[in-house]
Structure 1
């Protein structure tokens, strides 16, 4: 479940490489909540000593993705609904603020590019590919803010929230292209009109709508079959 790219291993700090591989496996849903990570097994898997593995696990613990257990074991940390609401709420506030800061700097070419991505989103049925396009859409509109700190704060929140969008979409359809693309159109219309405050409010509500859909999918997933 954890991919090993040997072409990268020699070109990067080993601990960072291992941390990224584990992070990707967690955020993609390949490593589910509660999955146990054994330092000895990970070292053998990556073909390294336990030293870089320990450092990689420390990084992931600091990011809140795993928690330590006894005897050189760690565990993928789960997120309960209350914590997930907090993640989405913080994400909404930061994304809205970034959009507001970006509006004066977004030119017609960027708006046209965003509309083109949104049309592709309308037609994309593969959920992982759809999530990638959706992230591209949002990053395109937030990047002109120039707010490096805000973008860095947002990145782990987006990863945590999208982890559960991926996990809970399997068989449950956290996939709302019609509503999402309509909300994207509204945000773009407000940006095009130069309404920074309106775009901020629309962006915040857009993230909250996604949160409600993800929580509902998670609730359905936990219900007994039959």
Structure 2
């Protein structure tokens, strides 16, 4: 992928710059900080706390990308001894040559996660793979509009490229699909806080919350299925 370049964000963790879209995969203020705040704290931990700390969580992610969210989720599962089944879609998987250079395990401060990170990327697609007794991953090469399943999830990480770069991923129709993928009480979380996004989320049935964003970003959005 000649149009993908590795960059270092302000918290020292890597991200990627897509030259074709002129867009980074994460916030340049800090890739690790953003993922922890938006997806782990305001998504996974929030859902689990409000749901009474259940011992199993089913997560669906739009945009596997660098695998940072999956790695942080695997870390959460192991640290909290909670079983997490992680389903993620990605139409354009990254080359291992790029993945092998990313410094996420070191940035997190747990070198043992290097093995986990490599397994997340090297394991087979289209199969459910157990990475640890607490974490399994099912990677699917698909766009959201083409994805079909009868399964329902507790938490949905919406980590597509920004609305200004790929508006087709943020339509009301696809947000309706996200709503239908979640169980009652399910949580949709994303880094964006666009006004149109909030209006569309409300229109398809979500209860919408505007929350403080990660470092360097004023706001983010969370939707709840009630």
Q: What is the TM-score of this pair, normalised by structure 1?
A: 0.25
Structure with higher strand content = 2
Q: Which has the higher contact order (CA 8 A, sep 6+)?
A: 1
- Give the greater-gyration-radius structure (CA): 1
Superposition TM-score, scaled by structure 2 size: 0.25
Higher helix share: 1
